[in-house]
Amino acid sequence: MTGSRLAVSIPPTRKAPNVAETVFDEVGGQEFFERLAHAFYVHIREDEVLAPMYPADDFAGAERRLALFLTQYWGGPTTYSQERGHPRLRMRHMPFKVNPDARDRWKRCMAAALDEVAPSPAARTMLWDYFDRAAQAMVNTFEE
């Protein structure tokens, strides 16, 4: 084919049928985040450093708020903001001593919860990347 050109036409990329648009869709919606929050708080209740940061009589409320926040963050309904306003995570965590030890304990609890609810590897990677960054952002002291 000397001197001639081969014309190749590549059609625009189209979304395959049933491809999830958000992590919320990928993991199965709000029910997934409810299970994740529940598994997470089971581990929080067992942690001697983290458990006292939560009102003993309102673990169910904390669990619900986390599920609503994660649902909204990952592309689901905005119920969290409708009920509580802007998330303001740093502000909401400022009253608590969040040092590197507390951060690492929080991350262990979340990792265990993720193991239990078993999202797909791709979803887990995205979720963990967020949780890792968010946990670091909540550190507000380096005091023991």
Q: Which domains does the chain have, with CATH numbers?
A: 23-138 (1.10.490.10)
Q: Is the pLDDT of residue 3 over 70?
A: no
Q: Is the pLDDT of residue 2 over 50?
A: yes
Tokens 């005091």 correspond to what residue?
Answer: 143
Residue 131: strand, helix, or coil: helix
Q: Is the pLDDT of residue 64 over 60?
A: yes
The pTM of this model reads 0.83
Q: How confident is the model at residue 15 (pLDDT cuts 50, 70, 90)?
A: very low
Cβ 22 vs Cβ 75: under 8 Å: yes
Q: Work out the average pLDDT over 7-13.
A: 52
